[in-house]
Amino acid sequence: MTAETGIGARVKRKEDQRFLTGTGRYVDDLPLARATYAYFLRSPHAHARIKSIDTSKAKAMPGVVEIFTGKDTADAKMGGLICGWVVKDKHGQPHKAPPHPVMALDTVRYVGDTVAMVVANSHDEAKDAAEAIKVDYEVKPSNVDLAKALKGAPEVHAEAPGNLIYDWEIGVKADVDAAFAKAAHVTKLDIVNNRLIPNAMEPRAAAADYDRGTGNYTLWSTSQNPHVLRLILSAFVLGIPEHKLRVIAPDVGGGFGSKIFCYNEETMLTWAASRVGRPIKWTAERAESFMTDAHGRDHVTHAELALDKDGKFLGLKVDTIANMGAYLSTFSTAVPTYLYATLLAGQYTTPLIYANVKAALTHTAPVDAYRGAGRPEATFVIESIVSKAAKELKMDPAELRRKNFIPKEAFPYQTPVALQYDSGNYPPIIDEAMKIADYKGFEARRAEAKSRGKLRGIGFSSYIEACGLAPSQVIGQLGGGVGQWESAQIKFNPTGNVQILTGAHSHGQSHETTFAQIVSDKLGVPLEQIEVVHGDTATTPFGMGSYGSRSLAVGGSAIMKAADKVIAKGKKIAAHLMEASVADVVFENGVFKVAGTDKNVPLGQAVFAAYVPHNYPLQELEPGMDENAFYDPANFVYPAGTQICEVEVDPDTGTVEVIAHTAVDDFGNIINPMIVEGQVHGGIVQGVGQALLENAVYDKETGQLMSGSYMDYTMPRADDVPSFKLGYKVTPCPHNPLGVKGCGEAGAIAAPAAVMNAVHDALVPLGVTHVPMPATPLNVWQAIHGGK
């Protein structure tokens, strides 16, 4: 039984029955009696003072129930949205924390900022009324350009003079400078990590209801972490006690990080539900998603790598400006610091690293974690500069990497940027990737392409990530405002079937299958008798949700701990039933046995005895079989791998075609290879999207979002990518019970550098040394032709 459905089995996804037959239940699908519909009036300006808002005409329109503005939230003394991670700057001072009102009070700070909320009997009536609201704006100068944000650009908040949120550093600059003084070669790199818009398939949505009989609130939200959302709303923003607020995140169609955060709209809905006295629903239109979902990436970086005469890395210096947007989103401050600069060692023994990160405000949508969150940016810096160094030194890019890899014997390996890598073995990964990609045959393929007028290039990206967030005490020391453990409950029913309740949340990760496989494997319960329950604060134990490739490494480990408790209790029950000593009972394939005898008690019989305890050691043991566990990891987990991308550039048009893309990953042990492949495929496509297609562009004069629809924001499509070639190497994680590392972000972390290195390699014959990302046809053509 477990061979087909247990750990390592390619089990078809349990959730696909409903997803593929149209019976998933998303927030917008909720039938709520007497529901009203919210529509948010948003700022058309990047920066303006609100002189007045006149809602009188709108309030009189058909179907309008109520209209709220910032004044109503101020009158109600509503708290602002919070940034949950305090980053201390290089002088030890906490970052600047400008207020983030749920509705704009007297100033709007980006196109899309929330100005008024109309509640009406229908969506169209709410929208009609919003158009009738008269807002008198005094337009003020704005800045959307990150490169100018800290150079005297118009200020976004008075509380952050010069638009600086923090000036942070890691490493000792003088030591790194000394290493550079001894270098035989220094490679310099100036890059922009392009801004991305997450584009989950399901837009953000919320529905809120208030029961005046009990005083209980219910919020349905497209959240990746319903308990965290409830905690923030309760403790910081609305003051509704946690036990009176239930947050439900039902089926959620993708998040990629953008649904971690606590947003204005769901906050307003919850607050307004009690004032309106009817349920309120809201689903973002796609244009609103583009404008107001927290965006990702958006760094401007200068980096320098010092090497000795043999190509050994001596030191790395990185200066980065990170865009925060107009307000600090929930975890925004941590992304370019603890999830970015701490990764700058990559897979290498670089002994000295210094990074300076300045977080800056601009009149744009907030920027926060997006698939990979900091780690793609770090990988892009490291893997771009390493490939550039190889070119400058005329070394093979794989050889330069191999020369500097952390050797297998060095693990656990303490990097100079705080992290301690627990395990890994990098050389066999790159070897396998080169074999799969037929690196040896590349020059012949390049020559063949040239005969067709195409420029072929190959690019490497050897990434490391720290995920499985995270040891709570480390997070606390670094300024994080929450614990980062995960919870699980394994609840047997009397007839022997199982519910796994998890604090993680699945919005595409396939927990309902993977978690069930763990329990099936561990407890010998058939997969079809296991149900995974998640996403409801009223039914699941408090948990931290899903992001940072943490669900399996942390949530899966909690499930293992709970399963251990089930086995321990089951042994006592079985020992009683078999009249044996507990010490003699073993548990194998779902059956308790006494070694050396034919006595046995299947788990189901022990469970039944626990619920119908007629023959049961009630003096020593509680009835029931319902075990809880919380798991706080000892360290991050460190997936690593190498991607190799092969492209062809059409020099006449600047078009880049991805011909082949190989990924070899070490994710530790793998529960379901099919699901891992899906995660890697999706991640690579997002990475290729960043490298070649996607770019969030604001108009520098007006601050309008130019790439505000699919007409202008280029999402990757199936015909933009080839079939991928995947491989695995396994070094099990030594500190979690499953030996797993996490696979959700790896593809997106590694791919941009692999693709861009391939593009640069292809363009060497034309003397091109820099192509901005994304390498769109225009950018490539301009790089070839000197920037027209």
CB 773, min distance to other proteins, A? 14
CB 1, min distance to other proteins, A? 44
Could you count the other beta carbons within 10 Å of the beta carbon of residue 152? 10
- Residue 626: phi, psi to the nearest 5? -155, 100
Q: Which is nearer to other proteins, 392 or 650 (CB)?
A: 650
CB 710, min distance to other proteins, A? 6
Tell me the C-alpha distance between 81 and 361, whole Å.
Answer: 16
Whether 479 contacts 334, CB under 8 Å = yes
- Which conformational region is residue 174 in: left (phi greater than 0), alpha (psi within -120 to 50 degrees), or beta? alpha
Tell me the C-alpha distance between 463 and 94, whole Å.
Answer: 31
Tell me the C-alpha distance between 274 and 209, whole Å.
Answer: 7
Q: Which is nearer to other proteins, 19 or 710 (CB)?
A: 710
Q: Give bridge partners of residue 114 from the DSSP assignment.
A: 42
Tell me the C-alpha distance between 689 and 694, whole Å.
Answer: 5
As a whole number of Å, the end-to-end CA separation of the chain is 64
Whether 710 contacts 645, CB under 8 Å = no
Q: Which is nearer to other proteins, 440 or 788 (CB)?
A: 788
| Residue given tokens 């118009």 in the structure block | 154
Nearest to 752 by CA among 772, 737, 781: 772
Q: Which is nearer to other proteins, 497 or 702 (CB)?
A: 702
CB 709, min distance to other proteins, A? 9
Q: Which is nearer to other proteins, 501 or 693 (CB)?
A: 693
Tell me the C-alpha distance between 473 and 573, whole Å.
Answer: 37
Tell me the C-alpha distance between 530 and 670, whole Å.
Answer: 20
Could you count the other beta carbons within 10 Å of the beta carbon of residue 568? 12
CB 63, min distance to other proteins, A? 13
Q: Which is nearer to other proteins, 84 or 687 (CB)?
A: 687
CB 134, min distance to other proteins, A? 18
Residue 296 per-residue DSSP state: B
Q: What share of the chain is helix, strand, coil (3-state, %, to 5)?
A: 35, 25, 40
Q: Which is nearer to other proteins, 74 or 697 (CB)?
A: 697
CB 462, min distance to other proteins, A? 29
C-alpha angle with apex 681: 678 to 682, nearest 5 degrees? Answer: 85
Q: Which is nearer to other proteins, 654 or 742 (CB)?
A: 654
Tell me the C-alpha distance between 373 and 547, whole Å.
Answer: 10
Residue 781 per-residue DSSP state: H
Whether 595 contacts 587, CB under 8 Å = no
CB 697, min distance to other proteins, A? 5
Q: Which is nearer to other proteins, 15 or 694 (CB)?
A: 694
CB 648, min distance to other proteins, A? 16
Q: Strand (E) positions, 30-179? A: 36-42, 48-54, 64-69, 107-108, 114-120, 134-139, 164-170
CB 713, min distance to other proteins, A? 6
Could you count the other beta carbons within 10 Å of the beta carbon of residue 728? 19
Tell me the C-alpha distance between 260 and 228, whole Å.
Answer: 9
| Residue given tokens 């309902």 in the structure block | 512
Q: In this structure, are strands 164-170 and 185-193 parallel, antiparallel, or unpaired?
A: unpaired
Residues 6+ apart with CB under 8 A from 356: 90, 167, 168, 169, 173, 318, 319, 320
Instruction: Point out which residues bind other proteins (CB under 8 A).
Output: 124, 127, 131, 287, 652-654, 693, 695, 697, 706-707, 710-715, 776-778, 781-782, 785, 788
Which two tokens mark 375? 């780690």
SS3 call for 535: coil
CB 198, min distance to other proteins, A? 16
Whether 549 contacts 484, CB under 8 Å = no
Q: Which is nearer to other proteins, 472 or 714 (CB)?
A: 714
Q: Give bridge partners of residue 6 from the DSSP assignment.
A: none
CB 157, min distance to other proteins, A? 28
Q: Which is nearer to other proteins, 127 or 312 (CB)?
A: 127
CB 209, min distance to other proteins, A? 28
CB 339, min distance to other proteins, A? 29
Q: Which is nearer to other proteins, 653 or 769 (CB)?
A: 653
CB 785, min distance to other proteins, A? 8
Could you count the other beta carbons within 10 Å of the beta carbon of residue 765? 12
Q: Which is nearer to other proteins, 696 or 743 (CB)?
A: 696
Q: Which is nearer to other proteins, 57 or 90 (CB)?
A: 57
Q: Which is nearer to other proteins, 737 or 777 (CB)?
A: 777
